[in-house]
Amino acid sequence: MVSGVPINPAVIEKYNEISKRTCGAMILSLAKPNNDEVIVDQAFPPTTPDSDPEDIWKKILEQVPDEDCRYIIVDFKVKTTPTVSQEKVTLVYWAPETAPSRSKMIYAATKEHISSSLNGVQSRCSATTLTNLLCRHQGKGALQIKPASVLMLV
């Protein structure tokens, strides 16, 4: 049984663009005022050999609200070892400490539904502070997103 709110078909379409490398990232939110479906809040272009993933990541973080939850889906080149990089799709569950409890509960209940609906998500993680999204993540199974992120693996 699936819990959480339904996903708007536009989310799946935009995710497929990420899979085809025509979109690099997107921010998802719940439609206001009723929080009755997951929608695409904003999409970002894919990285190119000339683009700096750190700049794109900063632009994404500028759009993440301080007082409400969001999902961030990114497809960046990540270092799996010091000498090997791979493209990985990561789902980030953003739940700042200042977000309303009801919002946190709805987003948390929907997180698994999103992850299972988007085929190809290779990593899932959560963050509660902007510092979590800016620091280097270390540990077994950790991905080094550029810029690296301290993200709690879920």
- Give the CA-trace dihedral at 95, 76, 57, 123, to 10 degrees: 10
Q: CATH for 9-153?
A: 3.40.20.10
pLDDT value at 2 more than 80: no
In degrees and rounded to multiples of 5, residue 84 shows phi and psi of -120, 130
- Sign of the dihedral defined by the CA atoms of residues 121, 123, 124, 130, in that order: negative
pLDDT tens digits, residue range 98-117?
999 999 999 999 999 998 89
pLDDT tens digits, residue range 39-88?
999 998 877 777 766 677 778 888 889 899 999 998 866 666 777 767 77
pLDDT value at 12 more than 90: yes
Name residue 104's beta-bridge partners.
none
Higher pLDDT, 49 or 137: 49
pLDDT value at 135 more than 70: no
Look up the pTM and report it. 0.81
Among left, alpha and beta (phi > 0; psi -120 to 50; other), residue 18 is alpha
Distances (CA, A) of 47 to 9, 27, 122, 123: 24, 16, 18, 19
pLDDT value at 7 more than 80: yes
